[in-house]
Structure 1
Amino acid sequence: MAVPGIAGSVNVMLAIHEKKTAAIELYRPLRNYIASHYSERDAQNLEDDLEAVRQMRSDLENPQSSDALPEVRRDLLQSYYRALCAMESRFPISPDRDHINAFSFVWYDAFKPNKKASQQNIHLEKAAVLFNLGAAHSQIALSADRTGAAGLKVACNSFQAAAGAFAFLRDNASIKASVGSSATLDVSPECSGMLERLMLAQAQECFFEKVIGDAKPPGLCSKVARQVSLYYEEAYAALGAPPLSQHFDRTWISHVQLKSAQFYAEACYRAGLDLHEKEEIAQEIARLKSGINALADAKKSSKGVAAPLLDAVSKLETNLNRNLEIAVKENDRVYLMRIPPAGSLQPLPAASLVKPLHMGDVLDASKERLFASLVPDSSAKALSKYTEMVDNIIRTQVEKLQQGSEITRVKLKEMDLPDSILAMEGNFTMPIDIKEDVEAVQVVGGPSGLEGELQQLKDLKRVNEELLIQTEEMLRKEEREDAQFRVQFGGQWTRPQSTTLTKTLHDRLNKFAANIKQASDSDARIERAIKDHSALMEILNCRPVSLF
């Protein structure tokens, strides 16, 4: 249910009651899981964390405890939500035999307490905690003294925080809690979206109280009031559509409907003051009539609405009628302007001064230390698979590099051609062994065949260099990911440093790189020798071979 609150002469606003839950025992099932899936020693080391979770859940089950101020409840709910996020990645809670299935989370609907939902997973628990966080923020806002500037600021900020909590619920937990499981309607995306708009309406209403208290120009006051009305209209539209249309008490719906009409009429009233100053009397009369009609229609369905709200509406209606009477008399006596029909009026301009508070930072569990020493099972499996994949890639690439190196070594050994050619200088007769070698070269194509062999060497060198670069990149990638896991898991990441594990590979890569460089230098010497003895190379094209 929602509860109205009034501070002095300020407007009636709504706060949300927290959802109620049934007591459950978390400590023993969680400890048993740690002991069976990790070790008894881990369970003993995590006693403090287990006790912290048990205490937070116990405090959550007793919202009426003596120290349960809204601010205390807010802090508790935020801490418990972060703890749930830490637990979700480490403790599989579901009906499965191998999971934690010793308890169910039970929560009652905040607006229909006779309805409840029960789930053996953590999704409903997280959704309910977010709902209660929004409720706690709304209660902080309602308890603020809005007759003073400081209290008005607290109320406005808290309503925006409540809107942020309900928006976070809608975007991050509502669907998970509802899909495939029973869940109460109050944590549905439709309801959380409606509550977000309602909280924004009340935050904007705080701004309206501020601009009125600061005696701001009526044109600005009209824009602020119109936006209040628009937010209430959105909330009212959601309340009137399935699945919420049959879920809320009629007085709740009437309150939102009347608020929407009240602030539309306020916008018309303030716009009328601005138009009167500009002597646009016909427009003023049309606006005032539009506001009066909106109030009259809304009052027809106002049964059960809080009396202070009805009083505020009546006072506003009196002011509208008084100004309308004055404007009509002036128009009849002085201006004689034709009154435009209501349908021809342009929509009143609006100015939104509020937005849902971003809750991502407040609820971020990435720095949560609870159960930090436990590596989630999914992460351990992913790490094992990743390590195996890296090992296979490195092994394959090293084998390719070794094969390429062996081919290069054989080719270089076969090509002792530069020494043979240089030995011939100054001799007038060709040794038989050299002649046979030359004839063998001619058989395979002569100088053109030699060029083909050199080109093949270049191609092999390029392939080996590419393999070397690919392997080095894989090792660097492995080092980066190892560093990322160390940052993510901290002390839980017990695998030796990547640089330690891959030192041998780096050494071998450096050796291969040196071999390739040595081979490249040898190739360059061969090419230079061929160019320096181009005349001799021409001899190889002669049949029979002649030195002259």
Structure 2
Amino acid sequence: MAAMTATINVMLAIHGKKTTPIDLYKPLRHYIAQHYSEREAQDAEEDLQAVQHMRTDIERASDALEARRDLLQQYFRALSVMESRFPISNEKEHVNTLYFTWYDAFKPGKKATQQNIHFEKAAIAFNLGAVQSQIALAADRSSPNGLKQACNSFQFAAGAFSFLRDNISMKASGSSSTVDISVECAGMLERLMLAQAQECFYEKVLVDNKPSSLCSKVAKQVGLYYEEAYAALILPPLNQHFDRTWIAHVQLKAAQFHAEACYRVALQLHDQENVAEEIARLKAAGNMLSEAKKSGKGVVGPLLDAVSKLEANINRNLDRAVKENDRVYLMRIPPVESLPSLPAASLVKSAAVGELLDASKEKMFAGLVPDSSAKALSKYTEMLDEVIRVQAEKLQQESEIARVKLREMNLPDSLLSLEGSTSLPEHIRDEVEAVQIDGGPAGFEAEMRQLKDLRRVNEELLVQTEEILEEEAREDAQVRTQFGTRWTRPQSSTLTKSLHDRANGFAANLKQAAESDARIGRTIRDNAPLMAILNARPIEASLPTLGRPILSLNQNEDAIVGTLRQKLAELEMLGSERAGLEDMLKDMKRKDNILPKLMTTSGSYEDLFKKELAKYDPVCAEVAHNVEAQERLIQQIKAANDAFATTFNLQEYLGELLFSHSFSFSFGKVVFFVGEEYDIFFHANIIVVV
């Protein structure tokens, strides 16, 4: 039987495709040196040799099955890495001296040659499925572990053929391809491998003495899988490609397990004394086997033996059931076509081999980054930055909203006041402390006295300056009268004009300072009782506190306060959660490197971007949930605060607190300089009352 190995258990394994030797090293190195640089070609030397070594080992095909499986997976990942870096075709600027040649697994006399890396990948994926089927067939199914290994390996073989069909076959197909890697053949082989994996489960349920109903369902699904494989084999292009014994084998196996399902359900019907349907099911099973055996020419002896044994069991049970019905039950036998279809239970599926063949973590040829991949990475980075920016703005906005809402409700200050922990705003506390350092109210009085003394000194200096200027003017006039035109110096009024102007300006400043000092003095005297609180250290000790009402109509003050505190604590937790979410987004972005995936993907960049950005959807959903939770919580805090304000007369307390916060103090110094020969200055301290 071509491309098939049969055992006494009558299952199939696929022979791998053969190939011809090929030199990957020289064409790839030449391309790197030509399109990148000689330096990068030297850096890629180790990777080039590794790829060539893998290809040579695959050509020999002499390793053990497990080692060969691992080699095929490794080489497939290397091909995926090479795909984005080395365009292989007959075009001038591509790697145009590489020709991949592979023989058909089922028609070894036919071969195909392509300058297409997908053709090479298709052959490797096919051989991976083939070697997995060989591992399955080599397992000892007489033991539980061997049976499990066989089942798993058949499912991995199905996964490899499924991957070939869905991802590679269309890219490698054409007039110069082979039928064995076509979509139709890969799909047929997947169903065949699933049928044999399900058959392993059937062997297991028989060994475990499971109920006949379960055995029937499992057998029915085995038959369905074989039936699907048979349907593909009798249609083009496979009907003219496979040996007739292949088609006969699969057809007979389908009939065998459809009959097995009927046989097993008949055993259940016998126990239920439903003899009429039992007879109908057994007749249907016998007819299936009789028809299938007519076209089973060329199938292996063990399969015919298994079918004959099943047929004998069916006929024996049928004879017994007919006799019982004739003697005891006398029930009418329903037509076979009137019977409902037997249920099936699929216990297997094609293994996901995509992760095993994913090359995104491969470091081979990592230094070679095509322009297309670099541009795609830049676009993805922009898209990711936008996602992070939008979410960060939401988080920051919610924190600001929480701060403003709490300030509007005078929280948590109201609660702190209830505990005797009234506090001033930080900027007011700083100003009060500055006043206290300068002596408090007593310091104001000392400053005012000092201001008065300084003003008197400045006024005296100004008078002295004006007298000096007047004396200088009289002397100038006297000399001019005495010497007449012989006195050629400029007039005194011309030389001293700027000094007179500055003296007049200083006189105006002194007058303004005196008026300001007078106003400040009156303000200090008028507010002397209030300013006494500046002697308190700390200043909060002199502020009013919020106390419990002496007479209250509401006896649940503690519950009201407790609820408000709890809601504020929950709000604080939401704030901490927002900080954690923002850090999480930044950390995810820092670790997000999709360049290896960009370099190995064979699909659309947009699809990859969509898939990769989906990683952030859970965090974005948490951000949205946090925002919604805060909106609800703010409403709950407002309701709790309204109850708190009503119970504790909060408006009256806020009025007292506002009055106590109405004054703050700051100091400033203004210094004036005048004089050429004379260093005369005016110094005024200005106290500003807010």
Is this a same-fold pair by TM over 0.5? yes
1:105 CA displacement:
0.5
Q: Is the 8 A contact 1:2 1:252 kept in 2?
A: no
Matched residue of 2:238: which SS?
coil
Residue 85 of structure 2 aligns to a residue in which SS? coil
Paired residue for 2:6? 5
Is the contact made by 2:14 and 2:130 (CA closer than 8 Å) also made in structure 1? yes
Determine which structure has more spread, i.e. the larger CA radius of gyration. Answer: 2
Distance 1:96 1:367 in 2: 30
Contact preservation (8 Å) 1:2, 1:14 = no
Correspondence for 1:72: 67
Structure 2 matches for 1:536-547, cutoff 5 A?
none
Q: Pick one of 39, 45, 54 that aligns with 1:56.
A: 54
The yes-or-no answer on 1:138 pairing with 2:133 is yes
Secondary structure, in 3 states, of the residue corresponding to 2:296? coil
Match of 2:595 among 470, 485, 488: 488
Q: In the alignment, does 2:33 pair up with 1:35? A: yes
1:212 and 2:210 matched: no
Question: What is the match of residue 224 of structure 1?
Answer: 218
> In 2, are the aligned partners of 1:127 and 1:174 still within 8 Å (CA)?
yes
| 1:36-63 superposed Cα distances (whole Å, 9 cap, x missing partner) | 1112121111111111100110011111
**Of 245, 257, 267, the match for 2:261:** 267
Q: State which of 152, 157, 161 in structure 1 corresponds to 2:152.
A: 157
2: CA distance, partners of 1:335 / 1:69: 61
Contact 2:361 2:596 in 1 (8 A): no
Q: Identify the match of residue 98 of structure 1 among 93, 98, 121.
A: 93
* Preserved CA contact (<8 Å) 1:159 1:203: yes
Q: What is the letter of the counterpart of residue 225 of structure 1?
A: A
Q: Equivalent of 2:17, from 16, 19, 29?
A: 19
1:128 to 120, 123, 143: 123
Aligned to 2:683: none
Residue 194 of structure 2 contacts residue 225 of structure 2 at CA under 8 Å; is this kept in 1?
yes
Matches within 5 A, 1:114-513: 114-179=109-174, 182-380=176-374, 488=595
Partner of 2:80: 85
SS of alignment partner, residue 101 of structure 2: strand
Partners in 2 of 1:293 and 1:137 — Cα distance? 35
| Equivalent in the alignment of 1:413 | none
TM-score, scaled to structure 2: 0.55
Contact preservation (8 Å) 2:151, 2:200: yes
Counterpart code for 1:70: L
* DSSP-derived class of the 1:113 partner: coil
Give 1:3 shift.
2.1
Q: 1:301 to 1:372 in 2, by over 3 A?
A: same
Aligned partners of 2:589 and 2:323: how far apart in 1? Answer: 82
Please tell me whether the aligned partners of residues 103 and 111 of structure 2 are also in contact (alpha carbons under 8 angstroms): yes
Q: Structure 2: which amino acid aligns with 1:89? A: S
Q: Which amino acid aligns with 1:125?
A: E
Deviations along 1:342-374, whole A, 9 cap, x unmatched?
A: 110111111000000011111111001111111
Structure 2, unaligned stretches of length 5 or more?
Answer: 383-585, 600-690
Could you give the per-residue CA deviations for residues 428-468 of structure 1, whole angstroms, max 9, x where no partner exists? xxxxxxxxxxxxxxxxxxxxxxxxxxxxxxxxxxxxxxxxx
Aligned-pair identity (%): 68
Q: C-alpha root-mean-square deviation of aligned residues, in Å?
A: 2.3
Q: Which amino acid aligns with 1:357?
A: A
Q: How many angstroms apart in 2 are the aligned matches of 1:384 and 1:341?
A: 69
Give the letter aligned to residue 59 of structure 1: D
Asked if 1 retains the 8 angstrom alpha-carbon contact of 2:377 and 2:594, the reply is no
Q: 1:226·1:348 contact (CA, 8 Å) conserved in 2?
A: yes
Instruction: Note closer, same or farther for the CA distance 1:379–1:203 as it changes in structure 2 (3 Å cut).
Output: same
Give the whole-Å Cα distance in 1 for the aligned partners of 2:133 and 2:286. 31
Contact 1:82 1:364 in 2 (8 A): yes
Q: Report matched runs for 1:507-522 at 5 Å.
A: none
- Say if 1:138 and 1:158, in contact at 8 Å, map to a contact too: yes
Q: Which TM-score applies when normalising by structure 1?
A: 0.69
- CA distance change for structure 1 residues 386 and 128 in 2, over 3 Å: closer, same or farther? closer
* Structure 1 segments of 4+ aligned residues over 3 angstroms from their partners: 380-388, 479-487
Whether the aligned pair in 2 keeps the contact of 1:90 and 1:377 (CA below 8 Å) is no
User: Which residue in 1 is equivalent to 2:677?
Assistant: none
SS in 2 for 1:16: coil
Q: Provide the C-alpha distance between the structure 1 equivalents of 2:71 and 2:36, rounded to a whole number of angstroms.
A: 29
- 2:362–2:596: 8 Å Cα contact kept in structure 1? no
* Distance in 2, Cα, partners of 1:240 & 1:285: 32
Q: Distance in 2 between matches of 1:252 and 1:178?
A: 23
Contact kept in structure 1, 2:6 and 2:300, CA below 8 Å: no
Cα deviation for residue 381 of structure 1 reads 5.6
Question: 1:296, 1:386 → 2: CA distance?
Answer: 63
